[in-house]
């Protein structure tokens, strides 16, 4: 917002988060929590403020007052957040916090904290709210500085890539296994070539982030292996980030991926595809072995993910032999580290011989990445690669 920095800084809906996770329009009605849950929510927001202050602002700020609001006068439910210097208050829209993914709330909080930092630490009180000092802080810390939102425009190169990959994944539904495997391998090779070509261009690429799945207190081992699959083979960075469920008053974690829009789309598709395929393969395994209970489901599905990881490693070696070598994306890594300055790496533990897990691993080695998920010859058609899909966290 232009004007004096002493005037309330207002961030309106849909202008703050990354292009890949802009929240949908917040409804005009006023969401409600009982007093206990609202108190827990405000405590969680303050805890998040302190974490962001340490991680991004080196602990340089004093805690403000945090409050929830229904929105600005005349546009109830439309205001995402505001920093009020005279009251040392950060206000966040109740509709945003309750109706949108927690990641969107964190991004809005970062934006308002950047305003607080400019005013209270840098002492820049003679600039407009989104002036040079604010812009510099946001660039340095990887915070979206936008004061107004623009519709996302689909790059023609992305659209062509998506169409070609989608066509190859459709061919991978062929009942001829050799043809299906070739089509799936060609799709992965096409994505690899696309990323190698982009890395050689001088132009700066655009990055975003997306949250996959639902926040949970504990994620299955298969989901952790799946996160490693995406990070190692699908050109994204992956990290488990805290998430809060305001209506339940519970903390959890959710998988966040960072990358270019086309790689986010592909990684999100693979995430959904493999989770659904793992469940389909477990149901088939139960039928074939007359298993009545789900006691071994988690170990079997973890094996499925390991088997698919084996398959991808084999494909990677073949591509390397053909001279297609991916050396990484330094710009993406810098974007990722700005979002997450303090990252702790965790290695997945190896597992000994386990018949159930071994059967899952063998099944996973036979997975062909294709369009839709189904069992047997009758394919239960799933969604295609989305056009500019925005994550729901």
CATH of residue 103's domain is 3.30.2010.10
**β partners of residue 89:** 65, 84
Whether residue 354 is found in the same domain as residue 218:
yes
Q: Report whether pLDDT(225) > 80.
A: yes
Highest mean pLDDT among 5-14, 67-76, 102-111: 102-111
Q: Is residue 374 part of a domain?
A: no
By C-alpha distance, which of 12, 283, 335 is closest to 147?
A: 12
**β partners of residue 216:** 253
Q: Is residue 176 part of a domain?
A: yes
By C-alpha distance, which of 197, 191, 199 is closest to 230?
A: 191
Give pLDDT, residue 54. 94
Q: Which two tokens stand for residue 285?
A: 């395994």
Q: Report whether pLDDT(389) > 70.
A: no
Q: Is residue 289 part of a domain?
A: yes
Q: Report whether pLDDT(122) > 60.
A: yes
* DSSP secondary structure of 279-290: HHHHHHHHHHTT
Q: Is residue 2 part of a domain?
A: no
In whole angstroms, what is the distance from residue 70 CA to residue 29 CA? 9
- Which one of 90, 111, 141 terminates a domain? 141
Q: Report whether pLDDT(151) > 60.
A: no
Whether residue 133 is found in the same domain as residue 222:
no
- Are the beta carbons of 32 and 167 closer than 8 angstroms? no
Q: What is the pLDDT of residues 58-97, one digit of tens each?
A: 999 999 999 998 753 334 446 788 999 999 999 999 888 9
By C-alpha distance, which of 194, 92, 79, 249 is closest to 147?
A: 79
In whole angstroms, what is the distance from residue 306 CA to residue 285 CA? 17
In the block, residue with structure tokens 């802009």:
22
How many domains are contained in the chain? 2
- Are the beta carbons of 339 and 350 closer than 8 angstroms? no
- Lowest-confidence range among 129-133, 200-204, 211-215, 364-368? 200-204
Whether residue 73 is found in the same domain as residue 163:
no
In whole angstroms, what is the distance from residue 210 CA to residue 261 CA? 10
In the block, residue with structure tokens 């982030």:
209
Q: What share of the chain is helix, strand, coil (3-state, %, to 5)?
A: 50, 10, 40
Whether residue 201 is found in the same domain as residue 328:
yes
């Amino acid at each position: 917002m232009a004007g004096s920095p002493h005037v309330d800084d207002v961030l309106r809906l849909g202008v703050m988060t990354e292009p890949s996770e802009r929240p949908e329009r917040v409804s005009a009605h006023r969401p409600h929590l009982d007093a206990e849950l609202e108190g827990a929510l405000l405590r969680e927001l303050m805890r998040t403020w302190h974490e962001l202050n340490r991680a991004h602002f080196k602990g340089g700020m004093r805690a403000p007052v945090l409050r929830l609001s229904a929105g600005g006068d005349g546009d109830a439910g439309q205001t995402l957040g505001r920093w009020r210097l005279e009251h040392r208050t950060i206000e966040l829209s109740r509709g945003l916090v309750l109706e949108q993914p927690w990641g969107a709330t964190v991004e809005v909080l970062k934006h308002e904290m950047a305003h607080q930092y400019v005013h209270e630490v840098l002492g820049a009180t003679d600039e407009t709210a989104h002036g040079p000092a604010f812009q510099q802080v946001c660039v340095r810390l990887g915070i979206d500085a936008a004061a107004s939102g623009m519709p996302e425009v689909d790059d023609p190169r992305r659209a062509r890539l998506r169409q070609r990959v989608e066509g190859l994944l459709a061919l991978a539904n062929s009942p001829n296994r050799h043809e299906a495997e070739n089509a799936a391998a060609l799709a992965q090779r096409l994505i690899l070539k696309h990323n190698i070509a982009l890395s050689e261009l001088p132009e700066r690429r655009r990055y975003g982030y997306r949250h996959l799945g639902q926040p949970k207190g504990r994620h299955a081992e298969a989901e952790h292996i799946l996160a490693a699959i995406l990070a190692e083979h699908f050109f994204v960075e992956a990290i488990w980030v805290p998430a809060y469920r305001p209506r339940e008053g519970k903390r959890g974690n959710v998988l966040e991926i960072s990358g270019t829009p086309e790689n986010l789309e592909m990684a999100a598709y693979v995430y959904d595809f493999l989770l659904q395929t793992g469940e389909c393969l477990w149901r088939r395994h139960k039928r074939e072995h007359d298993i009545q209970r789900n006691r071994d489901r988690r170990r079997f599905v973890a094996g499925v993910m390991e088997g698919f990881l084996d398959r991808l490693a084999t494909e990677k070696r073949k591509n390397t032999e053909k001279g297609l070598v991916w050396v990484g994306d330094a710009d993406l890594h810098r974007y990722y580290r700005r979002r997450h300055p303090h990252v702790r790496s965790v290695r997945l533990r190896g597992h000994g011989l386990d018949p159930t897990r071994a059967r899952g691993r063998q099944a996973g080695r036979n997975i062909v990445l294709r369009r839709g998920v189904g069992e047997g010859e009758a394919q239960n058609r799933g969604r295609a690669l989305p056009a500019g899909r925005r994550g729901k966290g």
